[in-house]
Amino acid sequence: MSLEKPTQTLSHQVTQTLECYFEQLNGEDPVDLHALLISQVEKPLLQAVLRHTKSNQSKAAKVLGLSRGTLRKKLSLYQLDN
């Protein structure tokens, strides 16, 4: 199985997101790291998997190791379920 190669690897995206997060802290109270990672990493990952599986939600859920219900909730959250 091979996904389309993204312009940046997932680990690079996570690293960039974390660097951004720590720069934003700058002595302030922490921002919501989970929300930041979700918006900058999870959504692009879901989009890549959907492209790879030609939007077949059963196959996408299997690739991601999620239940179909959990995947549907995530797709709905990002309005990717159209």
3-state SS, 3-23, equals: CCCCCCCHHHHHHHHHHHHHH
Helix axes 43-52, 68-77, angle to 10 degrees: 120
| 32, 40 contact by CB (below 8 A) | no
pTM: 0.61
For each of the chain's 82 residues, which pLDDT tens digit applies? Answer: 455 555 667 778 778 877 877 777 776 666 677 777 777 788 888 998 999 999 999 999 999 999 999 999 999 998 998 7
Phi-psi region of 32 (alpha: psi -120 to 50; beta: other; left: phi over 0): beta
Residue 5, pLDDT score = 54
Residue 58, pLDDT score = 95
Domains and CATH numbers, the chain: 10-77 (1.10.10.60)
Q: What's phi and psi for 30, nearest 5 deg?
A: -60, 145
Residue 1, pLDDT score = 46
